[in-house]
């Protein structure tokens, strides 16, 4: 375990989940974590049943899962064995700057006990210039969720934001008790929407996530999940969108999303090129819907805010990311959106 110069430094556990990763990617991620300043750091490496067991001398603890239960299951296992008072979730395709942990923890502590998590500024790795991967999560009334600022050049247009719906789990920092207050990640999703689900639960029940613009990481977007394939990704996103709405939103809000998705599905089944994937997504959502309804009854009892409060974070935002290549796209439109956001925030050019 790497110790800072101060015995009073916060104890942080960084959970990194891997599945069949290139060894150099894991080494880059953990090496960057090891350089974290002003914290007593524990790295928990969770191998989600890779074909060849993954280990690293840079990790303090290694958890080897017998089967791949999805990203949320791996994170949950890591949290259970972690010993830190603070929990960081870091994708193996992300590189954190040394001050990220320190700045996120300071932001959470200094804002208040109601704050349970911090969302750093995550930039795309490997691009010329700084392009935003995530400045927190947003969700539309349609149930579509994405990262705030995705694909926009970073002009500081989000730097005055202080509260976000929730953190994207490419990189995020939490109070340990956040997972007692809000609950663990929901393992029904396997991949995609587990962070949106947690963010909705947290925000609608009155907990807060702060955005920390000077805590920066670089992320090779979807490097760890591209092997899933575009069709399977589409199926999981469409299925999980419906399950997330069912488990977390009001009955009226969830019903509207199911209805709108049903209409869109009907049109796609007539005209769309990938009918099989859409049918699989809807079938999967229907199979898991009863458990999501049961979950919703418990979660809605803790909700203190209306759906509209969560949707407000998405107003005026559009993602500028090519879902096939996972790279920023439409630079001209993204730049216009970035300048418009700066103007609304009253920032100097």
pLDDT recorded at residue 282: 84
The verdict on residue 3 lying in a domain is no
- If you write DSSP's letter for every residue of 127-185 in order, what string do you get? -SS-BEEESSEEE-TTS-EEETTTT-B-SSTTTT--EES---TTEEEEETTHHHHT-SP
Other beta carbons less than 10 A from residue 92's beta carbon? 22
The angle formed by the CA atoms of residues 85, 195 and 344, to the nearest 5 degrees, is 100
The verdict on residue 1 lying in a domain is no
The verdict on residue 222 lying in a domain is yes
pLDDT recorded at residue 156: 95
pLDDT recorded at residue 2: 47
Check if the beta carbon of residue 128 is closer than 8 Å to that of residue 221.
no
Residue 330, classified by CB atoms within 10 Å of its CB into exposed (0-12), middle (13-18) or buried (19+), is: middle
The verdict on residue 160 lying in a domain is yes
Could you tell me the pTM of the whole model?
0.92
CATH of residue 212? 3.90.550.10
Query: Which residues form the domain of 84?
Result: 9-349
The verdict on residue 144 lying in a domain is yes
Domain count, the chain: 1
The verdict on residue 2 lying in a domain is no
Check if the beta carbon of residue 57 is closer than 8 Å to that of residue 1.
no
pLDDT recorded at residue 129: 83
Q: How far apart are CA 209 and CA 151, in angstroms?
A: 22
For the chain, give the number of residues: 349
The verdict on residue 243 lying in a domain is yes
The verdict on residue 111 lying in a domain is yes
pLDDT tens sequence for the chain (349 residues)? 444 445 578 999 999 999 999 989 999 999 999 999 999 999 999 999 999 999 999 999 999 999 999 999 999 999 999 999 999 999 999 999 999 999 999 999 999 899 999 999 999 998 878 999 999 999 999 999 999 999 999 999 999 999 999 999 999 999 999 999 999 999 999 999 999 999 999 999 999 999 999 999 999 866 555 666 677 888 899 999 999 999 999 999 999 999 988 777 777 677 766 677 777 888 889 999 999 999 999 999 999 999 999 999 999 999 999 877 778 899 999 999 999 999 987 765 4
**SS3 state of residue 299:** helix
pLDDT recorded at residue 228: 64
């Amino acid at each position: 375990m790497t110790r800072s110069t101060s015995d009073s430094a916060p104890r942080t556990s960084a959970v990194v989940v891997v599945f069949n990763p290139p060894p150099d990617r894991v080494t880059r991620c953990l090496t960057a974590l090891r350089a974290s300043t002003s914290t007593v750091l524990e790295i928990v490496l969770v191998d989600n049943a890779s074909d060849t067991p993954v280990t690293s001398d840079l990790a303090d603890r290694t958890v080897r899962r017998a089967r791949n239960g999805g990203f949320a299951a791996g994170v949950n296992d890591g949290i259970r064995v972690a010993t830190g008072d603070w929990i960081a979730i870091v994708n193996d395709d992300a590189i954190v700057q040394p001050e990220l942990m320190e700045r996120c923890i300071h932001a959470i502590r200094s804002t208040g006990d109601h704050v349970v998590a911090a969302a750093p500024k995550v930039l795309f790795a490997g691009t010329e210039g700084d392009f935003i991967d995530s400045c927190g999560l947003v969700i539309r009334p349609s149930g579509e969720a994405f990262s705030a600022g995705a694909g926009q050049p970073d002009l500081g247009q989000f730097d005055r934001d202080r509260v976000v719906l929730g953190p994207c789990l490419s990189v995020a920092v939490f109070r340990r008790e956040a997972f007692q207050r809000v609950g663990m990640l929901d393992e029904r999703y396997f991949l995609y929407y587990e962070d949106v689900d947690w963010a909705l639960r947290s925000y609608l029940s009155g907990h807060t996530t702060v955005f920390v613009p000077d805590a920066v990481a670089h992320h090779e977007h979807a490097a760890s999940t591209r092997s899933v394939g575009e069709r399977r990704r589409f199926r999981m996103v469409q299925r999980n969108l419906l399950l997330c709405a069912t488990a977390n939103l009001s009955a009226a809000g969830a019903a509207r999303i199911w209805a709108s998705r049903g209409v869109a599905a009907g049109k796609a089944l007539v005209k769309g090129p990938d009918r099989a994937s859409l049918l699989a997504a809807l079938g999967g959502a229907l199979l898991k819907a009863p458990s999501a309804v049961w979950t919703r009854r418990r979660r809605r009892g803790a909700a203190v805010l209306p759906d509209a409060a969560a949707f407000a974070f998405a107003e005026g935002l559009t993602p500028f990311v090519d879902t096939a290549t996972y790279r920023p796209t439409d630079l001209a439109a993204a730049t216009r959106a970035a300048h418009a956001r700066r103007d609304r925030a009253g920032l100097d050019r």
